[in-house]
Chains A and B, each alone.
Chain A
Amino acid sequence: MPEIIVKYEDKVIERIVTEKKRISIGRTNDNDIVLENRAVSRKHAMIEFNNNAAVVMDNESLNGVFVNNRKISEEVLRDKDIIAIGKYSLIYHSETSQDHDAGASFDGTMVLTTKRQKKLLENNKVEKEMLAKYGGSLLIGEENVDFSEYRIDRDVTTIGKAKFVHVRARGFLLSGIQAKIVEENGIFTLVNLGKRGKTRVNGEEIDRCILKNGDIITVGKSTFKFVEGAR
């Protein structure tokens, strides 16, 4: 099956494997691939798949579609072609990469799959404001539309479904305390505790993981970004 890896400013934000005959790309939510950026038209482009061939088409967009840096209106895609739309690049693979980590190993960046995660990555402004307000480390999460911040200013921060945890997360299979972040000598370690629900860092399921600035943590259906502050 063909696969498309979506990158935003060199960060892999989405990996799409599709069985569809045709996928739409644009700014509005009704597209198969949503690229949230003003430079992207509402219905910017299409990719059609047919007997192992793929064709990308510009949908009379304002800023155009580029394949390998060449502006096109319609182009047959070859393996590893790079489609540029605004600040996004979409890399076409004619076959799904066997290696499940393909996205991550691509350039050492992360593989994310949902729009929420994408939004968290892009929202640097909110993050800077929060850090300016508070010097320590933070988890920034998204509840509906508003970003919420959780300070990690204790030795152990709990994440889960229970009322008494420090950071509430959603998800049917989640445990009361699904995960904890332990701080020891300035190093933050995320540990999964519940076994029914899952904890992921940058899309990878983990049992224990040392957090780096900018890591995206997913606990059940909730997503957070880890922002390391100066202590």
Chain B
Amino acid sequence: MKLALISDIHGNLEALTAVLEDIDKQQVDKIHCLGDVIGYGSEPAACLELVNKTCDIKLMGNHEYVLLGLESPDNYTHVARISAEWTQGRLTDRDFSLITDFEMDRSLDNLYLVHASPFEPERWHYILSPEEAAQAFERLEGWLCFHGHSHIPLIFSEAHDRLPRERVGHSFLPDSENRYLVNIGSVGQPRDNDPRACYVTFDTEGGEVTYHRVEYDIETAQSKMAQAQLPEMLIDRLAVGR
């Protein structure tokens, strides 16, 4: 079976639409979404609707969690708080209701899906350092963990700390003797200096993990955000992928 995994869409409908069109060409069997469909971008409701329609498993991200009022946005940066409040005002009861059915994590045989980390999923820990990865491996049940949250495509293997960045660039065949934390990157707000939308496909039989980068109409996404008077910093970063 071939899976497509998407995460961190952040209300960017242009990026999501482009990614879904690209996924269409890959002939995948299922699409799973690892959370943060909303926040930052100008079209939270449309993205929620589209994810709900196209994705099989839908996981909770920290932006959904805050939106439901399950956590205070106090720890957020200033711009994130502004965008969280803005998003809240743009969602209907039905949108809220869709989010209430998002799951915190999901195991699929030897795969584990989560938004941030297998270590305390509802505390949204980043996995960027070998120490954070070690903590995550301690709690990981399964061979491969697919996650998002940091918007940086990155693979930690239990035996080697971080894999060299260039190997993350395209395809990667995990070793069945090892275990991995695979950050699938962000659809709607990449932060790895590559502004193209990012997602991953995974072949459950062959075991191959493939990163895909998709160009999308960044200017339109930006002008919609400007119209919505969202913080400039959030608009600017789309063009540079940071």
Q: Do A and B actually bind?
A: yes
Chain A residues in contact with chain B, CB under 8 A? 155-156, 158, 160, 162-164, 175-178, 180, 182, 191, 193-196
Complex: how many Å from CA A153 to CA B101? 24
Q: Is the CB of A164 within 8 A of B101?
A: no
Q: Is the CB of B97 within 8 A of A156?
A: no
Q: Is the CB of A176 within 8 A of B102?
A: yes
Chain B residues in contact with chain A, CB under 8 A? 68-72, 93-94, 96-97, 100-105, 121-122
Q: Is the CB of B93 within 8 A of A182?
A: no
Q: How many A-B residue pairs have CB under 8 A?
A: 44
Complex: how many Å from CA A80 to CA B121? 57
Residue in contact with A195 in the complex, picked from B69, B93, B105, B122, CB distance below 8 Å: B93
CB-defined contacts of B121 to chain A, threshold 8 Å: 164
Q: Is the CB of A193 within 8 A of B96?
A: yes
CB-defined contacts of A162 to chain B, threshold 8 Å: 103-104
* Other A-B pairs, 9, CB within 8 Å; known A177-B100, A193-B96: A160-B100, A164-B104, A164-B105, A175-B97, A176-B103, A177-B68, A178-B100, A180-B70, A191-B69
Complex: how many Å from CA A178 to CA B104? 14
Complex: how many Å from CA A158 to CA B60? 14
Q: Is the CB of A196 within 8 A of B68?
A: no
Residue in contact with A180 in the complex, picked from B69, B72, B94, CB distance below 8 Å: B69
CB-defined contacts of A175 to chain B, threshold 8 Å: 97, 100-101
CB-defined contacts of B70 to chain A, threshold 8 Å: 156, 158, 177, 180
A195-B93, A195-B94 known; A156-B104 Cβ under 8 A: no
CB-defined contacts of B94 to chain A, threshold 8 Å: 195
Q: Is the CB of A156 within 8 A of B69?
A: yes
**Which residue of A is nearest B92, CB measured?**
A195
Q: Is the CB of A164 within 8 A of B122?
A: yes
CB-defined contacts of A191 to chain B, threshold 8 Å: 69
CB-defined contacts of A155 to chain B, threshold 8 Å: 72
CB-defined contacts of A195 to chain B, threshold 8 Å: 93-94, 96-97, 100
**Which residue of A is nearest B64, CB measured?**
A177
Q: Is the CB of B68 within 8 A of A193?
A: yes
Complex: how many Å from CA A193 to CA B97? 6
A-B residue pairs in contact (CB < 8 Å), sample of 5? A164-B103, A176-B102, A180-B69, A180-B70, A194-B101
**Which residue of B is nearest A191, CB measured?**
B69
Complex: how many Å from CA A177 to CA B121? 16
CB-defined contacts of A193 to chain B, threshold 8 Å: 68, 96-97, 100
Complex: how many Å from CA A7 to CA B105? 46
Complex: how many Å from CA A191 to CA B69? 10
A96 to chain B, nearest CB (A): 32
Q: Is the CB of B68 within 8 A of A180?
A: yes
Complex: how many Å from CA A162 to CA B102? 9
Complex: how many Å from CA A182 to CA B93? 19
CB-defined contacts of B68 to chain A, threshold 8 Å: 177, 180, 193
CB-defined contacts of A196 to chain B, threshold 8 Å: 97
B107 to chain A, nearest CB (A): 11
CB-defined contacts of B71 to chain A, threshold 8 Å: 156
A222 to chain B, nearest CB (A): 16
**Which residue of B is nearest A163, CB measured?**
B104
A155 to chain B, nearest CB (A): 7
Sorted from nearest, which 3 A-B pairs have the closest CB atoms? A195-B97, A175-B100, A164-B104
CB-defined contacts of B105 to chain A, threshold 8 Å: 164
Q: Is the CB of A182 within 8 A of B69?
A: yes
Complex: how many Å from CA A163 to CA B103? 8
Complex: how many Å from CA A164 to CA B106? 11
A94 to chain B, nearest CB (A): 41
CB-defined contacts of B104 to chain A, threshold 8 Å: 162-164
Complex: how many Å from CA A164 to CA B122? 8
Complex: how many Å from CA A175 to CA B105? 16
Q: Is the CB of A176 within 8 A of B93?
A: no
